[in-house]
Amino acid sequence: MAIRHDIAEKLFTLETKNTSYQMKVDDYGFLLHLYYGEKIEGNMDYLLTYYDRGFCGNPYDAGTDRTYSMDVLPQEFPCLGNGDYRTPALIIKNADGSYSCDLRYKSYRVFSGKYGIDGLPAVYADEDTVLDDENRVETLEIVMEDACTGIQAVLKYGVLPEIDVITRQVQIRNYGKTEVSIEKLQSACLDFVTGDYDLLTFHGRHAMERNLQREAVAHGCKKIGSMRGTSSHQYNPMMILAEPQTNEDAGNCYSMSFVYSGGFQGEVEQDQFNQTRMIMGLQEEMFSYPLDVQDVLDAPEVIMTFSKNGLNKLSQNLHTCIRNHICRGKYKNEIRPILVNSWEAAYFDFNGDTIYQLAKQAKEVGVEMVVMDDGWFGKRDDDYSGLGDWFVNEKKLGCSLGSLIEKINGIGMKFGIWVEPEMVSMDSDLYRAHPDWALTIPGRNPNRSRYQLVLDFSRKEVVDAIYNDICKVLDMGNIEYLKWDMNRSLADVYSAVTDNQGKVMYDYVMGLYDFLERLGNRYPDLLIEGCSGGGGRFDAGMLYYTPQIWCSDNTDAINRVEIQYGTSFGYPTSAMGAHVSAVPNHQTGRTVPLCTRSVVAMAGSFGYELDLGKLSEGEKEEIRQENRKFRKYASLIQQGIYYRLSNPQTDAVGAWEVVNEEKTEALVSVVMLEKYANAAVSYVKVKGLRADAQYLEENSGKRYSGSALMAIGLPLPVEPGEYLAYQMHFISL
């Protein structure tokens, strides 16, 4: 069984295929964290130490025992008010104005299958996903209670043994007699009583997201997060704690990934006694959630995994979890169509015939879908007006949307469309009719970004109205793809219908999820791609509703190597929206060979973001060849085991690999990032093959042993040309 409870020892042990997680209820009812890491046997409470330490308070229950202090002991769910002065997971403001909570163990239950969360995305797995007892998915619920106020925290642990994943979530219940306010709520905490660690986080900005940063954990608290209402371009809601010597292939490392698309925070603190706390959950700023008597509030989920075999294995665990237990629907495992998006081809300057001609050109080169981007609705010829008016501008198109789709379908092409449902332009019919539907603060001029405001999705009537408008559009024809965009951060967070403004940010995300859930249920065959100015909302929460997310608005292939490298630490290739774009690139002005642009885009969903009519016949033929190549490798790319073979932040090459489960097929991709005269030869070591197998590289016809490829690797050509790329396809003999 995945979950064991030793009644006599008051011990809970969670086990996956390769890991153990252990905690215990002590004599005072506190739930103490004992261990998480490589699979072990026995009771780990011997790790707990008790000494009289100055300025470390003692619970009243401990009497004269000054050696017992919550300020030192490792905890499962630390709260403010029990004598622990480290960063807490829970802060409660009580009816009398006090900030205090003292959670003690009350009860537990274990059940088969994985818990779900009402209204929130979560890892899913049926109880019969794996039939044998050792690998059966199970859930542990532990109820903690503050006897004074009646506040309960229900700690939920989902154990997926086969993929070495443990999920954590908490539900706060008010079973007291007065309203309280939740001022901070974190979903998961890991306390380490010993060890030195590095913290790996992923920072960025619009058009340059998820740059890896690695730094030693030192005394104090390191915090990442977002106050933007989205998970943000600036920090991704995923972080890794690794021992200093850990690299891609060896060493202990832990990760937390937040299944949520709004404001978040992740913290790592080294305390006065060199202990380390890792914690993740909801954004603390602008969060003050009232909880009336009998009400409950669910925190979003955190995915945790551990690897003793380095960062590659840690990432592979997360890839498997997200691909198979977060993503849903028709396109969970199905190969997505190769598409061309009209944005960089035409921007706002198009009509129906423009889109039709793009579809015809796409058909000629083997592309399967055309997507009509921003500018097809309302009064929308630039980004200063029209958002919120979700009716087709037939005058601009020169036809109805239905007739355009029918015409495009008639030549054997699929059709997709762009929307930005969460936004409104001040110059729009919607804003003139319902100015209170936008997030603005009375008496203040609003902050505008991209000259637009944010609709108040914390209000059900607003979500319902926009949902109905979008459905009317989707019902006009055979629309098979929807690009859901969101092009600004939240500001002026004030809802006109509540006095509790501290709940608006959370309720906004709940409204977004409600919209997306209903949309997916109504249109089960619709492929939805998430987007927020590219990668501003690239998180596991969105992937529950949209199986792919536009990785970045930056389509420059060389920048994309680094962006996709950082993204790969937490997310599978199947989730990364990646396209071949025009050169000189519209964001950087850089010129990169078409082959290289294709190789980079094949590390994601693959498509095009350019005017196909401007290509030469030679370029069109090259695109036909690249499309055939992608279809050949698509299943391997989407479902294969992913390896990072270089660090493009420091190395002269960007290299990555996908290998099938049987280790009989592998695709190695390499991009040359630097160019020197009289250059030295670069070598790339292949990973994940069978050492005792022989492999044929299809393009060259050469044979290699698996052991040689993994021990020494392959020399890369030294030849003229900048930003060259290579793909090597290995088949076992």
Q: Residue 605 is part of a domain; what is its CATH number?
A: 3.20.20.70
Does residue 88 share a domain with residue 10? yes
**Side-chain-side CA neighbours of residue 43 (13 Å):** 14
pLDDT at residue number 132: 65
Does residue 207 share a domain with residue 151? yes
pLDDT digits (tens, 9 = 90+) for 572-602: 999 999 999 999 999 999 999 999 999 999 9
Which residue type is seen at 412?
G
Q: Show the tokens assigned to 367.
A: 């592309």
pLDDT digits (tens, 9 = 90+) for 143-158: 999 999 999 999 999 9
- Distances from the Cα of 667 to the Cαs of 567, 603, 687, in angstroms? 19, 11, 11
pLDDT at residue number 127: 52
Q: Residue 86 is part of a domain; what is its CATH number?
A: 2.70.98.60
Q: Residue 679 is part of a domain; what is its CATH number?
A: 2.60.40.1180
619 is catalytic: yes
* Domain limit, last residue, from 591, 608, 635: 635
pLDDT digits (tens, 9 = 90+) for 704-723: 999 999 999 999 999 999 99
Q: Residue 394: in which H helix or E strand, if any?
A: helix 394-397
pLDDT at residue number 703: 98
DSSP result, 401-426: HHHHHHHHHHTT-EEEEEE-TTEE-S
Does residue 680 share a domain with residue 560? no
Does residue 375 share a domain with residue 299? no
pLDDT at residue number 305: 98
657 is catalytic: no
Does residue 371 share a domain with residue 276? no
Catalytic-role residue among 539, 562, 609, 626: 539
Does residue 202 share a domain with residue 118? yes
Could you give phi then psi for residue 143, rounded to 5 degrees? -95, 125
**Are residues 563 and 551 in contact, defined by beta-carbon separation less than 8 angstroms?**
yes
pLDDT at residue number 679: 92
Does residue 242 share a domain with residue 141? yes
Residues spanned by the domain of 36: 3-325
Does residue 237 share a domain with residue 271? yes
Catalytic-role residue among 162, 243, 464, 619: 619
pLDDT digits (tens, 9 = 90+) for 254-292: 999 999 999 999 999 999 999 999 999 999 999 999 999
* Domain limit, last residue, from 279, 296, 325: 325
Flag whether 63 is in a domain: yes
Q: Is the pLDDT of residue 128 over 70?
A: no
pLDDT digits (tens, 9 = 90+) for 491-541: 999 999 999 999 999 999 999 999 999 999 999 999 999 999 999 999 999
Q: Is the pLDDT of residue 401 over 90?
A: yes
Does residue 278 share a domain with residue 203? yes
pLDDT at residue number 1: 77
Q: Is the pLDDT of residue 337 over 60?
A: yes
Does residue 590 share a domain with residue 551? yes
Does residue 41 share a domain with residue 8? yes
Confidence of residue 129 (pLDDT cuts 50, 70, 90): low
Does residue 146 share a domain with residue 20? yes
